[in-house]
Chains A and B, each alone.
Chain A
Amino acid sequence: MQLEVPQQSLLLLIILFPLGGAIINGLIGRYMPKGLVTVVGVGTVAVSFALAVASFIELYGLRHEAEQATLTYHFYEWFSLKLPAGDVVPVNVRFMMDSLGGIMTLVVTGVGGLIHLYSVGYMGEDEGYARFMSFLNLFMASMLILVLGSSVPVMFIGWEGVGLCSYLLIGFWYENRDYASAGRKAFVVNRIGDFGVLIGMFILVGVAGSFEFTDINAAAMGGQFRPDFPIWVSGVAPSLATVACVFLFLGCTGKSAQIPLYVWLPDAMAGPTPVSALIHAATMVTAGVYLCCRLSPLFITSDVAMSIIAVTGTLTALLAASIAVVQREMKKILAYSTVSQLGFMFAAVGVGFFAAGFFHVFTHAFFKACLFLGAGSVMHAVHAHGDADIFKLGGLKKDLPITRWTFLASCLAIAGFPLTSGFFSKDEILLGAAAQIYRRDDPLMTSVGWFTLIGLSLAAVMTAFYMFRLYFLTFTGDYRSADQSGDHPYDAHPHESPPSMSIPLIVLGIGALVVGFLGLPHVMPITGMHLPSWWSEWMHASVAGRPVPEELHIVNLASGLAFGAMAIGIGGAWVLYRNKNTDALTETIPARLYQLAFDKWRVDELYAAIIVNPIKKIATVAGRADMTFVDALMTRLPSFNVRESGRILSRMQSGVVQMYAAVMVVGVVAVLAWFWTPHSHIEATFEDTSVELTTPQGIGYEYRWDANSDGEFDTQWDRVPGTTFEYARDDIRGVAVFLSNVQSGVERRVRVTEDWTPLPVESVVPADLRSPHDTGFEVRVDGQDLLFRRPGARTKGEIRLPMGRDGRLGLARVFARPVVEATVEVRNAFGNTRRATKEIALPFSVDAPSHASLMPMTREVVR
């Protein structure tokens, strides 16, 4: 049962507050005192959070009244599309909060609010503080539109809006051009994804006839996306759902940094740390997962798309984790960790555990935000700018206790230490993967399940390992910048951050530890005890998913793998890095492999070599060609020709009188020559079965006719320029077939013999139905009939058309005509003669009613 509560203006206000903050800070922020900027920047988000909580409480209160309760707010109609069927599809600016959106809103406003607070301390000294706050607020507004938008286009406003903010914030310190380039890279890569969303959106609306998520999901559940989508010439025809999902997923890979579009996220660390925490860890990058969950009823209908998502997610998780293992900089490690964790989420989505994937989004928001803020706190403490090299840090647990403990809590969470939030969410994902292995009926999903399970376990090992490597190298051992040796050492005396920064750390750290209890597993491992899972019940209202297995052995397998991975990872890090100052890993794995991983498997270089550079090269060529080749062809060559011919012609004007007179005489001769030769031009008009032949009259002309071109003239020399003739069957020279294209109206004449002759394919077969090997039809004369066939077909496939009758063949109107030939000889006043011959297609049959007369005389019937 569904329940929709309309016109909840709170939803609008949730968005408008940050938006207003953005506008105020953006326009006049730089003229306002810093305090006021803070009030506006943080205050609006705080209000927004409060409104979100209020809305959520209202929504929560409805959970008993309906299975799917939503709060909606219809703002206004944006624009509308008209579909081919004639339906007008309005695109409404309409907001909606359901169980999924409610959670997301809380996360965005809550975590976002904390990060805003943190920014007060972190960015307070920056000269662009107001600008920063403005962008951050704008981001909040966009993100909230993304979350609350009830239709794909409205969501898309937010989707691209967050991309814009991401661009602006990554390049916040724009004076460093590399940072600005990183911002641009983020925007462009995201745009590639947006391209997918755009196309996916069209397919959705084309099938569902609506942009609203609820309608699309309903259509998906109604099976409307099942029909095939034939792909041009390939012969492959996946279902509509698959195509739509693949396009949408392309968008998700862009926004959520999955293979192949993940490359922008590590570079995005160029932005200030709060930005990394808010946009590139907690909220924006999870938008892809959010979208998948939003459209989960659609995604779940396509096994192919789901498999692609699961495999991509797993591969991303592995790849990013393998890179993170060897990096040296805090934020970079965290960035790859984010990519890797997003891979986990998509793997969950891919195996049909949308709720689990989204649960990981939820927990990840806490611990990853906390980690980033912790990293920011460390950087703030040691005055590192941009990023911090962990090999120059160490032993910070003494100086930065709050940071250290919150960081540790988050590390435990992300590693999946039992009873922390990450433990529950990761466990659920592995359970999802494990569940697929047991779907014996479905070989595709079984193999995907194996792949995912093993891949994710490995990734989990690496996750625990690199996080604790990071933790140990940063917080244990000695402070390696204390003696100020080495190049660019950090501040020798680190200090703990101000309260505006530590409060968010504490809140998030606690969150990282405890929020997992919202999503307890259904079945307790080992004991097999059934537990109440608030999360899956709540999510059930808005998110589809595959059934959660209840079998104990599956649960045990998943939990065992999760625990084992955590233990191995942390254990390894403990051995290699606790209280160490150097990277022990370099000695344990081959140097080249290490270097390769350190260089991020050189994916950026690969992309540059196979995509970016070729395109750039094409662009360069195009740019050069445009002003040289194209312009030359279209303008300079014609103008050169005209000018040069003008020059040559004007040279004719030599200035010599005799030459002038000679040219005149040439002219006289030319005019005389025209009159010297006779001219003729046969026209035929038909009346009943007689044909009237005429040729233009000339001064002093005489004519004689041979109407059937049999070599004997029918008339004597005469001043009258015409004659009338009745053709007999012996006069027929052959048969002409006319094809008149019904679309274009273009008429073609085809010679026909007793041998098969191909018809021009474009007259017969419409362009978009033509395959490359299509040769259309062949035609031949058979006695009194015309025969048509597909080339190579058996005789029985022939179409027979009696001559003299009109037919229809594919796109063409077909009719056959008997052809005769007429000759005239003209003699002019100077006694010169000239002959003209013309083929005439008679519009009637000769010797009617029998068509037997049309039998061609020779094999080659029309010359």
Chain B
Amino acid sequence: MGVGTYLALASVLFGIGAVGFLTRRNMLIQLMSIELMLNSVNVVLLAFNRAYPANHDGQVFAFFVIAVAAAEAAVGLAILIAYYRIKKTIDTDDASLLKY
């Protein structure tokens, strides 16, 4: 299989993540959509690393992405909890105090 196939897969994953992020109101699911997008990036990185076997830049990059995604999730969940404490919901539509 060529790089193209991986790329197509990654694009689909990225698209699903983006659409999920755009359409869902539940913050948890949005968070998961973002994780999906990050993972699609990992696929791309790994696939390309196969095309450029001279070094392991792509794979190293992917490790860092995984690590950062975890950190991001931690901060995100913390914010989510704070949000839930105040609003008693995790629906993003209710975050409409700040506008205009």
Interface residues of A (CB under 8 A from B): 650-651, 653-658, 661-662, 665
Contacts and interface: CB of A to CB of B under 8 A. Distances in A.
Interface of B: 18, 21-23, 25, 92-93, 95-100
17 contacts: A653-B99, A653-B100, A654-B100, A655-B95, A655-B97, A655-B98, A655-B99, A655-B100, A656-B93, A656-B96, A657-B92, A658-B23, A658-B25, A658-B92, A661-B22, A662-B22, A665-B18
Contacts of B99: 653-655
B27 to A, nearest CB: 9
Top 10 A-B residue pairs of the complex, sorted by shortest distance between their CB atoms: A655-B99, A655-B96, A657-B92, A650-B100, A653-B100, A661-B22, A653-B99, A654-B99, A655-B98, A658-B22
Candidate in A650, A654, A655 with the most chain B CB atoms within 10 angstroms: A655
Contacts of A653: 99-100
Given A654-B100, A655-B99, A657-B95, 7 more contacts: A653-B99, A653-B100, A654-B99, A655-B97, A656-B92, A658-B22, A662-B22
Contacts of B92: 656-658
A662 B92 CA distance: 14
Given A656-B93, A658-B92, A665 B22 contact: yes
A661 B18 CA distance: 9
A647 to B, nearest CB: 9
A650 B98 CA distance: 12
Nearest to B95: A657
Contacts, number: 29
A784 to B, nearest CB: 62
A654 B25 CA distance: 15
Contacts of A662: 22
A474 B50 CA distance: 131
Contacts of A655: 95-100
B95 A651 contact: no
A662 B22 CA distance: 7
Contact of B100 (A651, A657, A658): A651
Nearest to B25: A658
Contacts of B98: 655
A745 to B, nearest CB: 50
A662 B98 CA distance: 18
B21 to A, nearest CB: 6
Contacts of B97: 655
B42 to A, nearest CB: 21
Nearest to B22: A661
A658 B92 CA distance: 8
B19 to A, nearest CB: 10
Contacts of B18: 665
B86 to A, nearest CB: 16
Contacts of B23: 658
Contacts of A650: 100
A656 B95 CA distance: 7
Contacts of B93: 656, 658
A661 B95 contact: no
A658 B20 CA distance: 10
Contacts of A661: 21-22
A493 to B, nearest CB: 91
A690 B92 CA distance: 66
A645 to B, nearest CB: 14
Contacts of B21: 661
Contacts of B95: 655-657
B60 to A, nearest CB: 27
A653 B23 CA distance: 18
A656 B25 CA distance: 10
A656 B92 CA distance: 7
A662 to B, nearest CB: 6
A653 B100 CA distance: 5
A655 B92 CA distance: 10
A662 B96 CA distance: 16
B29 to A, nearest CB: 12
Contacts of A651: 100
Contacts of A665: 18, 22
A656 to B, nearest CB: 6
A654 B95 CA distance: 10
Contacts of B22: 658, 661-662, 665
B65 to A, nearest CB: 20
A650 B99 CA distance: 9
A829 to B, nearest CB: 15
A665 to B, nearest CB: 7
B98 to A, nearest CB: 6
Nearest to B97: A655
Contacts of A656: 92-93, 95-96
B80 to A, nearest CB: 13
Nearest to A665: B22
A758 B53 CA distance: 72
A655 B100 CA distance: 7
A662 B25 CA distance: 13
B38 to A, nearest CB: 16
B61 to A, nearest CB: 22
A831 to B, nearest CB: 16
Nearest to A658: B22
A341 to B, nearest CB: 82
A654 B93 CA distance: 11
A656 B24 CA distance: 12
A592 B88 CA distance: 99
A651 B22 CA distance: 20
A610 to B, nearest CB: 59
Nearest to B96: A655
A19 to B, nearest CB: 73
B79 to A, nearest CB: 13
B89 to A, nearest CB: 14
A661 B34 CA distance: 12
Contacts of A657: 92, 95
Nearest to B27: A657
A657 B23 CA distance: 10
Nearest to B18: A665
Candidate in A650, A653, A661 with the most chain B CB atoms within 10 angstroms: A661
Nearest to A662: B22
Nearest to A668: B18
A662 B19 CA distance: 10
A770 B92 CA distance: 72
A190 B22 CA distance: 82
A650 B18 CA distance: 26
Candidate in B93, B95, B96, B100 with the most chain A CB atoms within 10 angstroms: B100
Nearest to A657: B92
A650 B100 CA distance: 5
A481 B95 CA distance: 99
Contacts of B100: 650-651, 653-655
A69 B97 CA distance: 99
A658 B100 CA distance: 15
Nearest to B21: A661
A96 B47 CA distance: 109
A540 to B, nearest CB: 93
